[in-house]
């Protein structure tokens, strides 16, 4: 019977230290960390955690939004854990799926979180539409791109003189943009 922590931050730049500190205070035996969006339940460390847990374990999250963003995903994960006789505890919301009250609270909180997220997105869309009508909103500004420098650095990468990561660092590009440009330019 182990305490297994699951932490998630939305980007590589965000820091999971607050979540890990909570795990230390609770005596978590092992933890898994994802650094990606929670909108998709197919995350590498979430999958690893789901595979790792055993009967009698308890999964600890600092808040249920770290585990899933949608009610469907959250309840699916909880059902999978329950089928393995694994409990789920949330520090912030103070629920524990080993009790009927905890299961009810989980469902209510998950529904409210999904509703809140949808309302934020709706207000954002409305605000952008109004700003466009007034001519204030121009959309995301294009990032600078020096094709000759890009080709020069990519040549070094392709020749094995530097890693892809070093190339991205020199070009100040994130992986998704870097590989998109590589594909667009046929490098």
The label of the residue with tokens 């070093």 reads 166
Reading the block at residue 144, the tokens are: 């600078």
Reading the block at residue 57, the tokens are: 């374990």
Reading the block at residue 75, the tokens are: 């309840």
Between CA 166 and CA 155 the distance in angstroms is 13
**Contact status, residue 102 vs residue 95, Cβ threshold 8 Å:** yes
**From 10, 37, 76, 169, active-site residue:** 10
10 catalytic per annotation = yes
- Residue 5, classed as helix, strand or coil, is strand
Alpha carbon separation from 85 to 14, 37, 57, 90 (Å, rounded): 32, 27, 8, 17
- Residue 96, classed as helix, strand or coil, is strand
**Which residues have a catalytic role annotated?**
10
């Amino acid at each position: 019977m182990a305490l297994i922590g699951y932490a998630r931050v939305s980007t590589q730049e965000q820091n999971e230290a607050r979540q890990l500190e909570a795990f230390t205070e609770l005596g978590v035996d092992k933890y898994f960390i994802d650094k990606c969006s929670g909108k998709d339940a197919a995350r590498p460390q979430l999958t690893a955690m789901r595979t790792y847990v055993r009967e009698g374990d308890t999964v600890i999250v600092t808040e249920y939004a770290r585990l899933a963003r949608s009610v469907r995903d959250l309840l699916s994960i909880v059902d999978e854990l329950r089928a393995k006789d694994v409990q789920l505890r949330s520090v912030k919301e103070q629920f524990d799926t080993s009790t009927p009250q905890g299961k009810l609270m989980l469902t209510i909180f998950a529904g409210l979180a999904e509703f809140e997220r949808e309302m934020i997105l709706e207000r954002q869309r409305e605000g952008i539409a109004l700003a466009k009508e007034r001519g204030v909103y121009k959309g995301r500004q294009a990032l600078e791109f020096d094709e000759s420098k890009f080709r020069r650095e990519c040549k070094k990468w392709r020749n094995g003189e530097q890693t892809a990561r070093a190339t991205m660092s020199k070009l100040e590009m994130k992986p998704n943009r870097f590989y998109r440009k590589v594909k667009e330019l046929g490098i």
